[in-house]
Amino acid sequence: MTNDTLKKKYILKPGLHQFAPGSAAVHSNENLSDEEAEWYLQRYPHIASLFAPQPPKGGVTEQANNKRKLSEDKILDKGGSI
């Protein structure tokens, strides 16, 4: 992936894609801006499956840290009285 692709909010799955019924499959990451992607998604919501999943809000690191903290809490809470 190029640096431009990494900065984009909407990343298409590999290949060329058809958004509008009856149109040619011409859309790819190289020729689709985030603004255009948002416009197409509003007009044709069924195309959402053509895009790669977006990372969770807060980022992957924050979510991983929360899961790790929950796992540590479960381990510490196990056991009986001493």
| Number of domains making up the chain | 1
Residue 82 lies in a domain: no
Helix (H, G, I), strand (E, B) or coil at 19: coil
For 12, the domain range is 3-77
Q: Is residue 30 part of a domain?
A: yes
Strand partners, 17: 27
What is the residue whose two structure tokens read 């149109």? 23
47 part of a folded domain = yes
Q: Cα dist. 44→28, 37, 39, 55 in Å?
A: 16, 10, 8, 22
Token pair of 44, please?
Answer: 């044709």
- Mean pLDDT, rounded, for 20-29: 94
> pLDDT tens for residues 41-79?
999 999 999 999 877 776 555 555 555 665 555 666 655
Q: pLDDT tens-digit profile of 30-40?
A: 999 999 999 99
List beta partners, residue 61: none
